[in-house]
Amino acid sequence: MPDAPRTTFAPRIFSGIQPSGGLTLGNYLGALKRFVEKQNEGIETIYCLVDLHAITVWQDPAALRRQTREAAAGFLAAGIDPARSILFNQSQVPAHAELGWVFNCVARMGWMGRMTQWKDKAGKNAEAASLGLFAYPALMAADILAYKATMVPVGEDQKQHLELARDIALKFNSDYGVDFFPVVEPIIEGAATRVMSLRDGTAKMSKSDPSDQSRINLTDSADAIAKKIRKARTDPAPLPVTLEGLRDRPEARNLVNIYAGLAGITPEAVIAEHGGAEFGRFKPALADLAVAVLEPITRRMNDLMQDPAAIDRILGEGADRAEALARPVIEGVHDILGMIRSRG
């Protein structure tokens, strides 16, 4: 007997950012810029501020509200159009938590225990870490699969969690003899999907770094951006004339990747234009480019943050649209599981 035809899932992109405050150049090049590009390709795009993930560690409530609005302002200022993409905060759509519980029952403890981010964040104090932090990847899988998303733009540090989402989808389908959830594909592309610290080319640019000089914040002024790039750590040699020459030069490679990401070109093209240049010449060119790209975003973010009610309205409208997509998926899951749905 021939196999039943497999379900064809409509292309749909989902991704999210935790509203933990302080958007950086890394968030822009690694996420926001790519989100806008996907939106403009005409694929259905759903972008979420994952505030339920944020509370896996304690959050000050007033700060969480402010940071959620700031992250939304960052999306909008970078070019996300709420008429073309769905933009919302996770906690306004109950389907995430509902499906997260189902996936807690599908995933295995051993799968969760192998997650490198769990090991990194819990460290030697795992007994004191929240259960939510341990189960975080199941909720991440629910975020994606509540919309039957087929593609997720991710950085290398989230690739393992996406693989777990695939495993959960496959196990659910296998356990219940259905072809209900798609197997999600990662989108990992671009020169600057992982932007490194300006002070250490082997460490990721992070808002948690105690040195503000290590990162470019999306709220930085033009002068601050230029100053940080001028002071970025580099080695004494000029830029190489081939990309291979950057292999053992992490700080130089990072600046080349940042230039490529901001300019929308390849690192090879950057080397073709600037190869052999001293950093005294390359850094000002990079600073000018960074200011030209980021200053309008900063200005737009600041304008948006002056009207928090407008941001809240956009998030609420996005949540309504997200709920309309996710509710039939949750109802389908309940039917598959054998749960009675008899409310009017």
Both structure tokens of 90: 């996770």
The tokens describing 119, both together, are 């090991």
Element (H, E) at 36: helix 33-40
204 is an active site residue: yes
Q: Classify strands 85-89 and 151-153 as parallel, antiparallel or unpaired.
A: unpaired
């304690």: which residue's tokens? 58
| Residue in 121, 124, 228, 231 annotated catalytic | 121
Q: What is the 3-state secondary structure (H, E, C) of 194-224?
A: CCECCCCCCCECCCCCCCHHHCCECCCCHHH
Q: Which of 207, 228, 231, 283 is catalytic?
A: 207
Active site residue 148: no
Residue of 204, 227, 228, 283 marked active site? 204
List, in sequence order, the alpha helices (H) in 221-307: 222-230, 250-263, 267-274, 279-305
Which residues have C-beta within 8 Å of that of residue 27, sequence separation ≥ 6? 17, 74, 218
- C-alpha to C-alpha distance for 142 and 291, rounded to whole angstroms: 38
33 is annotated as an active-site residue: no
End-to-end CA distance of the chain: 41
Tokens of 79: 């070019």
Q: Rounded CA gap, 316 and 313, in Å? A: 5
- CA 187 to CA 185: how far, in whole Å? 7
Residue 85: which H helix or E strand, with range?
Answer: strand 85-89
d(CA 212, CA 197): 10
- C-alpha distances (whole Å) from 76 to each of 180, 280, 282 are 33, 35, 31
Q: Which residues are tagged catalytic?
A: 121, 204, 207
